């Protein structure tokens, strides 16, 4: 389960279809979609 902030819902949602991705700068992030409005969400994996 990965939580991320949805800018459209303006609240935290549990990502659906969450997948680990590596960004261009080499940082890892979780990419998924909001289960409520289907907006794309990102969460940077800081630690």
Q: Work out whether 12 is an interface residue with Zn ion (CB under 5 A).
A: no
DSSP 41: E
Name the token pair of 20: 């680990």
Q: Which is nearer to Zn ion, 19 or 27 (CB)?
A: 19
Residue ranges in 17-46 that form contacts with Zn ion under rule CB under 5 A: 34, 36-37, 39
Q: Work out whether 15 is an interface residue with Zn ion (CB under 5 A).
A: no
∠ CA 46-17-19, rounded to 5°: 40
Which residues make up the interface to Zn ion (CB under 5 A)?
6, 8-9, 34, 36-37, 39
């Amino acid at each position: 389960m990965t939580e991320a902030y949805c800018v459209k819902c303006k609240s935290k949602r549990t990502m659906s279809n969450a997948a680990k991705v590596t960004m261009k700068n080499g940082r890892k992030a979780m990419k998924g979609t909001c289960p409520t409005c289907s907006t794309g969400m990102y969460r940077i994996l800081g630690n």
